[in-house]
Structure 1
Amino acid sequence: MLQKVILLLIGLISIKGLAQDSKMSIELSYPLPIDNNFVGDNYNGIIDLGFKYRFLELNSISIGGSLNIGYLKNSKKAQNQPFDVNLYSVQPRIFAELNLESIPKIHPSIGLGYSLLYFKVVHNAAVFNSNISTNNQNESGLNINAGLSYDLTDKFMIQAQYDFINIGVDNDIPDITYNKNINILKIGLGYRF
């Protein structure tokens, strides 16, 4: 699935890259789980790839859509653990970005969307016990995003984003903040087309 999304992004960028007034950007960030929750305690960020398209300009506000795809790896290093769990996230959202003439290099933004989280189990063959049942799991929920970018040049920018994700929990999982609220800080670079 990740390969298909990357091919789609490359296709869109190559088509849109030929236009003279493009409103697209691509971002590469490091996702850092923060706060005391099951993701923050068990996963380390690896990479987050983002794609934004601004489709409406209203005075000093740009409205657009974005898609982020992230990868976090289980941080547990126990040698006797029979499996690792990788977390893949897909986050489509609508966003609004502020573009002020008085501070043209700084662009605060806010977004609202949905997060799809895929927990993929990777078996450790050296200690795998066939009596242990492991299943991949999917979770999803509301995503609120706040960001700030700073233009280094007309094309390149640095940025920081904060994602708050509120997922639903099953009946057999306690309905507490630790199990349903996820906080991720993303720091990275972007390129505008």
Structure 2
Amino acid sequence: MKKLLLLALVLTFISKTFSQDSKVSFELNYPIPVGDNFIENGYNGIIDLGVDYKFANLNPVNIGVSLNGGLLKNNVGDDFKITSYTLQPRIFGELNLESLPKIHPSIGIGYTVMIFDVSRPLDDDVDNQNGFNLNFGVSYDINNRFFTQIQYDFIKLGKEDDIPNTSFNRNVNILKVGLGYKL
């Protein structure tokens, strides 16, 4: 009986998750470092993947949570490479206007963890930095399933004892352009 109840719950969850009115979407973005900071100065965007879940509809605003993971590369020289992995959980609000049904502005607030994987000839090192994240974006519905979007992330990294406390070292700006798919 317990197995049957568990199976029913799992099937209900799956059908709700993948139904027409599903609130889940996936996104594929190209991250572009911008602004006067150490990320823009030496890193190239590779990819940013995300998943969004809208859990409340407070007409005309949808409230949801999202998680993005990104990859940036810095090739300082032939023997010295840095890969930055970003992890960005956040809560967001998305505006749905009847007068503009295909355009959805959004704002989000969250946290960013940046993992810097340093590769050198004699040794490797990993350094983590993290901080507050503010996200602004707008998406355009191509059809019922696909959308295109542009997002701007402002990241305020925390102070580190061995890193100068300047806006160049603490303020990170990333512009993301991409496509999304609604389940």
TM-score with structure 2 setting the length: 0.88
Shift of 1:168: 1.0
Aligned to 1:55: 55
- Say whether residues 1:168 and 2:165 are aligned partners: no
- Say whether residues 1:65 and 2:55 are aligned partners: no
Aligned to 1:42: 42
- Say whether residues 1:149 and 2:139 are aligned partners: yes
1:62-101 paired onto structure 2 within 5 Å: 62-76=62-76, 78-79=77-78, 82-101=79-98
Q: What is the letter of the counterpart of residue 31 of structure 1?
A: P
- Say whether residues 1:120 and 2:117 are aligned partners: yes
Once the two structures are superposed, what CA deviation does each residue of 1:29-78 show, in whole Å capped at 9, x if it has no partner?
Answer: 000000111111110000000100000000110000000000001143x2
Once the two structures are superposed, what CA deviation does each residue of 1:64-119 show, in whole Å capped at 9, x if it has no partner?
Answer: 0000000001143x23xx32110000000000000011100000000000000000
What secondary structure is seen at the aligned counterpart in 2 of 1:173?
coil
Aligned to 1:27: 27
What secondary structure is seen at the aligned counterpart in 1 of 2:125?
coil
Once the two structures are superposed, what CA deviation does each residue of 1:118-174 show, in whole Å capped at 9, x if it has no partner?
Answer: 001234xxxx2x3xx542100000000000000110111110000000001212221
CA distance in 2, matches of 1:121, 1:173: 16
Number of residue pairs matched by the alignment: 170
Query: What is the percentage of aligned positions where both structures have the same residue?
Result: 52
Q: What is the letter of the counterpart of residue 86 of structure 2?
A: S
Whether contact under 8 Å (1:120, 1:137) holds in the other structure is yes
Q: What is the letter of the counterpart of residue 185 of structure 1?
A: L
What secondary structure is seen at the aligned counterpart in 2 of 1:40?
helix
Whether contact under 8 Å (1:169, 1:179) holds in the other structure is no
Whether contact under 8 Å (1:49, 1:69) holds in the other structure is yes
Aligned CA RMSD, in angstroms, stands at: 1.5
CA distance in 2, matches of 1:91, 1:50: 9
Moved over 4 A (4+): none
Q: What is the letter of the counterpart of residue 164 of structure 1?
A: F
Whether contact under 8 Å (2:33, 2:39) holds in the other structure is yes
